[in-house]
Amino acid sequence: MDETGRAARMLLLPLAACMVLSACAGSSNISRIPAQVGQESQREGLFTQPVKWTHAKPGCDGECPKLTVDSVVFPGVPRLTELVDRGLAYMTGIGASTTPPYSTIAEYEQYFWKTAGPRDETQMVAKARYRNNSLTVVELDTWQYMTGMAHGIPATQFINWDNRSGRALNLQDILLPGKRSAYIQALKQAYQRWLIGNPAVQNDPQAYQRMWPFQESENFGFTDSGLVVKYNAYEIAPYASGQPELVIPYSALGGILKPAFLPA
């Protein structure tokens, strides 16, 4: 594996250390997923405002490091706004063996100007991928290129925000007790479906799975159709395959997810 691939595997994910605000949602028997599935509920839920800017290193001429932010803030929900900001900053920790020496985008920018090479570039993107009255799913994406790399490295992390309790949900919060292994089995089935539909696998499926075996993941996001689990580059596929998304339909999650997180 080349230097780029090794750097990708060292991305500081998942955001367990960053998501100290995560906790269980309050108990409820009311489904948080619309009864009618198949259409994204993007117009419901928390209000967002965009934050967009691109900065080059101050005082630099010629080839200069560049930082681009295309994010969102949540007016009236400062904890979620802070979680997005800190999450994007944390996801820039390529190759670091310890916690990065910054915790916000503003702090990262100052660090970046001090350490970046002439062609280095970082892009930070946050978008509300799914929203309804009780859930807001934010997708955090970073892309980084460091001078000398073969290509840039993308990374993605989901925040599943419970609008009612004002907390981020982790996998334990949404699963019935003792059902983690059942969730992993459902994810494996989604992986097998993905393999069948992947043209790159068909020439030699066994060799492909030896090189890129299944990996467990807790990087999930709610949608109307089920849980989407997104992998980063080099986790279950080569760089050319992008960032695979596996979808576990709600029909496969009965008896696994808590009833509040299944369609009514």
Whether 149 and 130 map to the same domain: the answer is: yes
Q: What is the mean pLDDT of the chain?
A: 86
The residue among 169, 195, 213 that closes a domain is: 169
Query: Which residues, 6 or more positions from 199, have their beta carbon under 8 angstroms from its beta carbon?
Result: none
Helix segments in 24-141, DSSP class H: 78-90, 105-115
The boundaries of the domain holding residue 249 are: 172-261
Whether 176 and 122 map to the same domain: the answer is: no
Separation of alpha carbons 243 and 263, rounded Å: 27
Whether 89 and 114 map to the same domain: the answer is: yes
233 with 212: CB under 8 angstroms?
A: no
Q: Is residue 14 part of a domain?
A: no
pTM as predicted: 0.85
Whether 164 and 188 map to the same domain: the answer is: no
pLDDT per position as a tens digit, 20-29: 344 433 444 4
The residue among 151, 169, 187 that closes a domain is: 169
Q: Is residue 243 part of a domain?
A: yes
How much of the chain is helix, strand and coil, in % rounded to 5?
25, 25, 45
The residue among 143, 169, 195 that closes a domain is: 169
Q: Is residue 220 part of a domain?
A: yes
Q: Is residue 66 part of a domain?
A: yes
Using pLDDT thresholds of 50, 70 and 90, give the confidence band for residue 197. confident
pLDDT per position as a tens digit, 148-165: 888 899 999 999 999 999
